[in-house]
Chains A and B, each alone.
Chain A
Amino acid sequence: GAGVSQSPRYKVAKRGQDVALRCDPISGHVSLFWYQQALGQGPEFLTYFQNEAQLDKSGLPSDRFFAERPEGSVSTLKIQRTQQEDSAVYLCASSWILAGGRSFETQYFGPGTRLLVL
């Protein structure tokens, strides 16, 4: 594909609802990252996958957040029982880099999913 795609682009949820956000990385990219960007802030790391393995989930704010990448390509970020503080733009990025690699490949970002929890 031409780039990283994310869907939906916009999501409005009622407090307490579950949501699922999808990321389609660039074909063949090994690494996939999720970031959360609150209004007026810089993106903050949530979690990282190398192929299908979730190697770092230290940024997930609570156990209501869950991410998966079962076949090492498409990834889904799920938020259960959404709260108003979950309102943010969720960005996905992919790259060639392997964990522990000696070179850094550019992370390519998708357009994001803007989540509004009412």
Chain B
Amino acid sequence: AQSVTQLGSHVSVSEGALVLLRCNYSSSVPPYLFWYVQYPNQGLQLLLKYTTGATLVKGINGFEAEFKKSETSFHLTKPSAHMSDAAEYFCAVSLFGGAQKLVFGQGTRLTINP
């Protein structure tokens, strides 16, 4: 069975600092990997996804993530945090084929300090 672990339910960084949100997954076969962002009272918005090909994936709003198979990780980074990045971030995994339902981590709340 697939599972996702997000290390740190809360992360706080200063504006302009590096953002690093950690995600590790468990899957018996190569998965598809996703990062979603959720703003208060809104649905989930896709930041980026890894399916095949290049392991460094660039997404919206300056975020990127690197798929590391040997470490079963898909950490999300952004070089310089902006106040508007404050939100809840979810890492998710899905298997190739099938119904492709998403299995989510518990989320990381990102706070940006001025």
Residues of A within 8 A of B (CB): 4, 31, 33, 35, 40-45, 48, 50, 55-56, 59, 91, 93, 97, 99-104, 106-112
CB pair B98–A100 under 8 Å, yes or no, is: yes
Across the interface, B51 reaches (CB within 8 A) one of A41, A56, A103, namely A103
Q: Name B3-31 residues within 8 Å CB distance of A.
A: 4
CB pair A104–B49 under 8 Å, yes or no, is: yes
Across the interface, B90 reaches (CB within 8 A) one of A42, A59, A110, namely A42
User: What total of A-B pairs shows CB separation below 8 Å?
Assistant: 67
Q: A111-B41, A111-B43 are in contact. Are A42 and B32 (CB under 8 A)?
A: no
Q: Which of B68-76, B79-87, B102-110 sits within the interface?
A: B102-110
Q: How large is the interface on B (under 10, 10 to 19, 20 to 34, 35 or more residues)?
A: 20 to 34
Main secondary structure of the interface of A (DSSP, over half): loop
CB pair A110–B43 under 8 Å, yes or no, is: yes
Q: A104-B32, A104-B49, A104-B94 are in contact. Are A56 and B43 (CB under 8 A)?
A: no
CB pair B106–A41 under 8 Å, yes or no, is: yes
CB pair B103–A45 under 8 Å, yes or no, is: yes
CA distance A14 to B9 in the complex (A): 32
